[in-house]
Structure 1
């Protein structure tokens, strides 16, 4: 049975791992680096995680599950494609703006998991499950005649890249709030698919439904 002390140490290790993996990369981060960051010995770290790769896999799996669950709640009851696309763009943008280090690890470190391993395959399956929300929304919008795009895959990749890029440049003390960035990106995204924007522009994500990543390091 885990004690409160174990939970606290485990969370500190995950927070340090996210910071180090995001700032210097998984490959350049050693267990010694993690131990130093949380004031433990290497053995102390291994008391809480079986390996550095297992630590990364756990973070990526939990992050993707949180993303999927929050998106499912966000889209509940919204059936029109423009409204769904607005929520997808707004929520993915907000998640990356508010959790820049966690999302950098989620987006950039799949290559560090052993190809063919159970963890690697699970993260790919979770990533694909999330992207299905986008695939189905774009396909439904085209079928209903409310979206016009030449290539669904390229459109999806372009829109998602716009949203995920906020983890690299957004700053809480900058000129725009997360809500303002979301609103602007929704307008850009709906214009990109040539959708009617009058109603969908008012559909912005409920930030209370966004996933909670307790290991996300505080903003500098």
Structure 2
């Protein structure tokens, strides 16, 4: 983890990506220039381009690594899960935890797909990765409905509502807040199972040690993704 973005003694590749996450999340990809990145890490534009092909390639790389990490962690957790209720509990708990622990990285991952060029190989790759992740949610809800464990009128709306609840933690969760991450995850699981009217109580909880390593998450940052003028 990079703690000083301007320290030339640390890996330039990591410093640039940590700065990109910070700036893309706080002021948006479109409003961030290569010059902004250079100032953040005390490098020239030429120095930045020595390490990244383009600003869009940098964004795609960040999104790809984050989504692949989430996909892999989810697959490891679900590998030993039981029925649909257990699987849904793990999906809710893990997605909540990832967004709470890496609010800036997940903000970029969730919100900047629009910034990738339509029809580009990078954008298509990210969409495939996202679809693979959402397929776990779709299958879990469909299986629960098919076996009568879940009672859901609209599976798509239910999935979107539950996923939005989980990803929202990137906006408000703080480690020093009123609730621990374990408590938040447990409460969200309870809410999620109630939403699908699941009669089965589960004791499954996500193994936080399996969460993806997102090394470019800026440390000790109070996250507010809005531009400065919006916070005044």
Sort the TM-score into its range (normalised by shorter chain): over 0.9
| 1:51-99 CA-partner distances (Å, limit 9, x unpaired) | 0000000000111000000000011121300000000000000000000
TM (norm. structure 2) is 0.90
Taking the TM superposition and a 5 Å limit, the aligned residue runs for 1:172-187 are 172-187=175-190
CA distance in 2, matches of 1:148, 1:43: 57
176, 179, 196: which one pairs with 1:193?
196
Point out the more displaced range, 74-83 or 157-166: 74-83
CA distance in 1, matches of 2:66, 2:199: 33
Question: What is the match of residue 211 of structure 1?
Answer: 212
110, 113, 116: which one pairs with 1:107?
110
SS for the counterpart of 1:47 is helix
Over aligned residue pairs, what C-alpha RMSD do you find?
1.2
Instruction: Return structure 1 stretches of 4+ with deviation > 4 angstroms.
Output: none
Question: What is the match of residue 19 of structure 1?
Answer: 22
CA distance in 1, matches of 2:216, 2:119: 27
CA distance in 1, matches of 2:155, 2:33: 41
| Unpaired stretches in structure 2, ≥5 consecutive residues | 1-7, 222-232
Structure 1 position 134, deviation (Å): 0.1
Size of the aligned set, in residue pairs, is 214
User: Does the alignment pair 1:129 with 2:125?
Assistant: no
| Unpaired stretches in structure 1, ≥5 consecutive residues | none
State whether residues 139 and 152 of structure 1, in contact with CA within 8 Å, keep that contact through their aligned partners in structure 2: yes
Answer 1 or 2: which has greater helix percent.
1
| 1:127-146 CA-partner distances (Å, limit 9, x unpaired) | 00000000000000011100
State whether residues 149 and 155 of structure 1, in contact with CA within 8 Å, keep that contact through their aligned partners in structure 2: yes
CA distance in 1, matches of 2:161, 2:89: 15
